[in-house]
Amino acid sequence: MQTEFASITEASQRWINEGKSFKDKLNNWLDEIYIDKVKPVTPCPEDTRKDMTAFVMDQIYYHNEDGEFDKLRQLFPPDNDPIDWTGITECVSQVVVLPDMRLVATVGDWYEPRRVYLISENTFELQPDVLMIGKSFDKKYIARVYADYIEVTEGWDGHSIKTFASPSTYGLKGPKDGLSNLNFTEFGIQQIVVFPNGQRVAIATSKGIFVLEEQTSHFIETEENSSHTHREEFTFRYDYPHVDVSPDGKYMITGSQSSPHLLFEEINGQWTTIATVEPRSSYPNLARFNTTIEEEPDTENSGPQVLLCSCHISRSASIALPLTNLTPNFYASGYNADPTLNYIDDRKWVFSAGLYQWGYALGCNDGYMWFRDYYGNLYGYLHIGGTVMDIDYSPDRTKMVVASYIGQITVYDCTELFQENEDLFRDEANRQERRKDDFAITNTCYKDIKRYLFWKENPPLVW
């Protein structure tokens, strides 16, 4: 049952006071687990504000109508814990932070109708006919996906560099395939990565993984599909297709549900498999190059590497292949715990990843980001509230922006570190310091400073 309040002030005081109390209790409870390494003797604290959901959602809507964004945040600081967003929100599947801190976001998952917004402070500009976006590793080039073509521009506002048509064939001998009948709306694109020179793009789609050039396309086969080619007008079906391109454009990492992790290098104009890694869990679903990790003398498996995530409902896993370990016809098995690999995590289903010089932020379907070094040591956690679909950073790394399945984009600030040891994470040395965000479940310094909400059949909102 939802509670009625005599005034907004009364509701605000309860929201803030009970929210702070709950978060203090819960974070202290978690400190026992992650700092003291003991099992708490008390039950996990529970939020007492679930009866406020309807009232607070109304306040979000009304204050947005009046343009009172700062007042809304002051009265009702953002907090997902008391609110069940089921059936209310739309998935935000992509977010990109531009150099001037404007955001570009895709609303809708790959199997849904999608639309793209340019977000500047408190304004939202719908991008006509754009289905989704992609970028080069340094964001020098941005890709816009339309139904009939992909356009790459220099930055978001720059001139057009290249346009690409949809693949018309798998390039296999035998019966005619059905790709020529499809436009990009029907390909089910899940990822697009622009090569460092802006002249090519790689796309991971439910119809396969392709490298697109201005006049042609190259099908990158990850699974054996020969049994399907006896049909006329055939197309394949790929689950969890994914792709990434190394910052120098030398390597491409791909995979899909029924494949190993496959590392390619372009040799004599052909994309050639140079490394095969069997996953740690069942189904490969994500890969990211991390070249910010430096190679350290006498440190095993350090240096630039590629994160390899695989998933299963019972147990997922993330491993990494240090590129310095590559040898001709490289093969390793995550199942067998080969020592040429790093073992990051053995539990979480990862949907997105943030890159650090020491490791990774794993964005997971449990609604958390888990921060681990490249040996798998847990540094920290940050509760987002829904599956973490995408993660990006400002150029100076003081801002982190997260897109989630529960229809939110959250902007975090980490300018102020824990002073005791100038650290991003809470630990025994600095646990006496005040947490940076009174309403976050985290042991990090990331502080929520802005949220954008996407509700079904409503304009975008600011919180």
Return the axis-axis angle of helices 53-65 and 8-34, rounded to nearest 10°.
120
pTM score of the predicted model: 0.95
For residue 341, how many other CB atoms are within 10 A of its CB? 23
Q: Name every residue whose Cβ is closer than 8 Å to that of residue 327 and which is 6 or more positions away in sequence.
A: none
Residue 421: per-residue pLDDT:
75
Report, as an integer, the average pLDDT of 385-408: 98
Residue 226: per-residue pLDDT:
52
Report, as an integer, the average pLDDT of 385-393: 98
For residue 44, how many other CB atoms are within 10 A of its CB? 9
Report, as an integer, the average pLDDT of 241-268: 97
Question: In this predicted model, what pLDDT tens digit does every residue of 327-379 receive, in sequence order?
Answer: 999 999 999 999 999 999 999 999 999 999 999 999 999 999 999 999 999 99
Distance between CA atoms of residues 79 and 76, nearest Å: 8
Residue 144: per-residue pLDDT:
99
Record the tokens describing residue 107, joined without a space.
């609303």
Residue 231: per-residue pLDDT:
59
Asked if 306 contacts 321 with a C-beta cutoff of 8 angstroms, the reply is yes
Closest-CA residue to 109 (of 412, 354, 403, 451): 403
Measured between alpha carbons, how far is residue 73 from residues 5, 107, 171, 196 in Å? 18, 23, 55, 40
Report, as an integer, the average pLDDT of 63-92: 97
Question: In this predicted model, what pLDDT tens digit does every residue of 2-20 receive, in sequence order?
Answer: 888 989 999 999 999 999 9
Cα R_g (the chain), whole angstroms: 23
Q: Which amino acid is at 293?
A: I
Distance between CA atoms of residues 305 and 310, nearest Å: 16
- Chain-centroid distance of CA 424 in Å reads 20
Residue 229: per-residue pLDDT:
53
